[in-house]
Structure 1
Amino acid sequence: MFKLNFKKVFAFLFAFILCFGCIDIYADDGGYTIDDYKVNAIYHSNNTIDVKEVIDVNFSSYRHGIYRNIPETMYINRDEKYKLKIQDINVLNDEYEVDSDSGNRVIQIGSADYTIIGPHTYTLTYTIVIPEDYHSDLDFIYYSVLGNNWDTTINYFSFDIQFEKALTEDEMSNIEVFSGSLGNQSNDLNVTPIITSTSISGSAYDIGAKQAITLFGKLRQGYFVGAKQTTSKIPFIFLGLAILFGLYSLIRAFLLKKTHITPIVNFYPPKDMDPAMVGTIVDESVDQEDLMALIPYWASKGYLTISEKEDDLVLTKQENHEPPILKHQKKIYNGLFKTKN
């Protein structure tokens, strides 16, 4: 009888993730650098931010354009999460499409009909709507003025944020700048902010890929007025579900109290759900591991083969199979085999 060795399975999955953990999927990855990146924003008293970005890009090879990914979720810590709304998106003098993918508002800028090489300037505007916070004793600023989604270097970055409502001296002294890798709580990029009662500005040079700059500051309670309300119905919904589940459990226990039930552990996902979907449902987050789990899944379906060559894993596209049809699978699959099989 076959016995599943969990230690070996987890060791294989861990090794597999290490092999592919550095892969990032972008439709137009590489082939350009950002020479100059300016952010001008107005921080309104209702906790919305009007943003204008001017991005000077230098393409070293022919490309259709760039992607601008704006997070739609704001994490203050592990237990405090806010759903953002990115609205009123506009790109000046360039074709663009807007979509949502992997927790980001994705702005695809450029034309499918022609390519660009050399310098090009992109100008875009949008509004970030931040909901009312969960705190009763303070308000706060938490603004990722530079997100970590860029897969290229930025030679020079600057920002200037104007506040609709003036800050007090205490609030000005509470403003902190975090910069560097995602989640970093220091200022590795050496951003020196200039803070006044009505503005914050700053700049940084030679920023590597996947780097971020975030502003954080504690404000007086009531600084933001008229912010988008976080719904108060959610706790009652969970309470109602808990009551219904409790009643169901009691009835089920009463009906089956004389029946011995042997629990069966199921190692298979629900029908028509791939590993990325299951991983997302488990922790309510799309993680890189969820996406990478699609690769052995595709191998089991015959979309590709996995072989070992000189201590590397090689993925080979199988031409005799139709590619995946689900949108998220198709995007990653086509990204893997964009230039060769």
Structure 2
Amino acid sequence: MKKFILSLFFSVILILPALADAQTAGFYIKSYDYYAYLGKNKVMTVQETIDVEFIDRRHGIYRSLPEKFSAYRYDGKNERFMEYKQEYSSVSTSPDKNTTDAESSVFTIKIGDENKTIIGPHTYTIKYKCVMYDDRIDLSDFFYYSPLGAYWETDIEQFNFRIDFEEPIPADTQFELYSGNIYSEANGLNVDCHYNQNCIWGKANKIPEGNAITLFCELPDGYFVGAKKVSPFWTYLCGILSLASCLLTFFFIIKAKHKSPVQTVEFYPPNNISAAEVGFIIDNEANDSDLMALYPEWAQKGYIQITEDKKKVLTFTKLKELPEDAPEYQKILFKKTFSRSKNFTVKNISSSYISELEKAKESLHDAFDKERSLYEDDFLSLGLLYLCSFMYTLFLCISSPVSRWDNLYLCMLVIPFHVLGSILNKGFYSRYFRQIKPVIKTTLMILFCIFMGGVSYGAFQETEFQVPLVVVYVLSVLY
């Protein structure tokens, strides 16, 4: 009698965790029989019989099925991380009716009646078809499937499965079985599994909630015939729109930068335009030659005198000061030229003169910012450029035939590059940073290329169509 009581005590202790999980879910599964028939077209016809014990009153159960999965595949050269899609159809349940829902890549069969509750034992029969897509690898086919998914939030006392093959598998086929949590790479549930050329079957007991059983095997190329293929429509459409947006952006930028001014017959520049400004107008850039053109102009206006000795060395002699309303860049150059004496010889150029020359160029450039801008405002061209780059990132992300919506967050990652581009191109660094602007742009280019490589990597797993577009995109953003 004491032995019986002791045995009963330990039995209760061992079953308490299972009862706790069952009470949380309101039910547990006593027996789960899974049967499937795998056709040559990679469509599985499935029937599941589930014996449920309801501890609390419930309206029914949910059967959740994954709509996509990922796997590493060898394409003959490299191991590629591939994502695949699955679809479900022809769903029927008994004895209770069902509704279906698809959200976050999970297809859910809701079985039960909202006007009816169940307690105690209840048996469900679920039938459906699972359409698995073509693997997109010419080297081989493969079978990867989970007869028991990890979506059950209760314990399963006994699970049996069997999958029959329409086409016998090769005799040397080796199945791999993974069981346990979703990250398990071993048979953590000690599933008893067997297979031959016509079917694979097995069973497992005492399966905790959130555990799965997954089967995998490599098959010769051509084993599956007529498997559903992912439509390339979105990929090609996105590619065409991406290329079109890049070309359109190029067109507007070039048009804005090279817009021809109205030509008038002039022998001298207008009174309010200096020789240095004329040089800037020609190429939209302040350089040494633009500023050197000021000396003949000053001589013509009587501010300086230019003489040349026998060795053809030029000497500038100061005659009078520039007017108070002279542009800042002219004052900088004039003051530095005659900072030591009234005479300045070209051969006596010092490093400090070169430094002041750079400041004068900065000032000349600033003189044409904002209201004196020679070209159309950068807002249009930059706006189109950033719209183009965002569109391309969007198209690149959604063109993946499987995970197009999961990758949309990548579009947001391109925004920091747009902000940096705006800062560099809108003249916020007009004085202090302009000298290191090429270094900043080069660094940005390197970082952007690394970024685009990461963004594009996912698309490369699906199609090679995007490769030339990445080059066009990078060039357009860094133009």
**Same fold by TM-score greater than 0.5:** yes
Match of 1:238 in 2: 238
Structure showing greater relative contact order (alpha-carbon pairs closer than 8 Å, 6 or more residues apart) = 1
* Pairing 1:283–2:407 present: yes
Structure-1 separation of matches of 2:44 and 2:177: 18
* Pairing 1:47–2:49 present: no
The code of the aligned residue for 2:43 comes to T
The code of the aligned residue for 1:142 comes to Y
Structure-2 separation of matches of 1:42 and 1:238: 37
Q: Structure 1 or 2: larger helix share?
A: 2
The code of the aligned residue for 1:39 comes to Y
Pairs aligned (count): 241
Of 63, 82, 99, the residue aligned with 1:68 is: 63
Match of 2:122 in 1: 120
The code of the aligned residue for 2:57 comes to Y
Structure-2 separation of matches of 1:98 and 1:33: 22
* Pairing 1:206–2:330 present: no
Structure-1 separation of matches of 2:164 and 2:406: 40
Seen in structure 2, the aligned counterparts of structure 1 residues 142 and 97 have a Cα distance that, compared at 3 Å, is same
Using the size of structure 1 for normalisation, the TM-score is 0.66
CA offset at residue 234 of structure 1?
A: 4.2
Structure-2 separation of matches of 1:163 and 1:37: 21
Give the structure with higher Rg (CA): 2
SS of 2:237's partner is: helix
Per-residue CA distance 1:201-256 (angstroms, 9 max, x = gap) = 01111111111111100001100011112224444323312311211321342355
Structure-2 separation of matches of 1:41 and 1:65: 23
Match of 2:113 in 1: 111
The code of the aligned residue for 1:103 comes to S
Structure-1 separation of matches of 2:138 and 2:196: 26
Of 26, 31, 36, the residue aligned with 1:31 is: 26
* Pairing 1:183–2:183 present: yes
The code of the aligned residue for 1:247 comes to L
Of 95, 99, 102, the residue aligned with 2:101 is: 99
Match of 1:85 in 2: 87
CA offset at residue 168 of structure 1?
A: 1.2
CA offset at residue 282 of structure 1?
A: 6.2
My pick for the range that moved more, 254-263 or 133-142, is: 254-263
Per-residue CA distance 1:67-93 (angstroms, 9 max, x = gap) = 111111122248311221100000021
Of 160, 164, 187, the residue aligned with 1:162 is: 164
Per-residue CA distance 1:256-309 (angstroms, 9 max, x = gap) = 54545699xxxxxxxxxxxxxxxx956359xxxxxxxxxxxxxxxxxxxxxxxx
The code of the aligned residue for 2:96 comes to D
Per-residue CA distance 1:5-31 (angstroms, 9 max, x = gap) = xxxxxxxxxxxxxxxxxxxxxxx9711
My pick for the range that moved more, 181-190 or 194-203, is: 181-190
Structure-1 separation of matches of 2:408 and 2:61: 28
Structure-2 separation of matches of 1:223 and 1:126: 23
Seen in structure 2, the aligned counterparts of structure 1 residues 159 and 133 have a Cα distance that, compared at 3 Å, is same
Match of 1:143 in 2: 145
Using the size of structure 2 for normalisation, the TM-score is 0.47
Structure-2 separation of matches of 1:191 and 1:94: 31
Seen in structure 2, the aligned counterparts of structure 1 residues 256 and 31 have a Cα distance that, compared at 3 Å, is farther
Seen in structure 2, the aligned counterparts of structure 1 residues 55 and 207 have a Cα distance that, compared at 3 Å, is same
CA offset at residue 124 of structure 1?
A: 0.6
Match of 2:54 in 1: 59
SS of 1:169's partner is: coil
Q: Give the superposed CA RMSD.
A: 2.4
Q: Structure 1 or 2: larger strand share?
A: 1
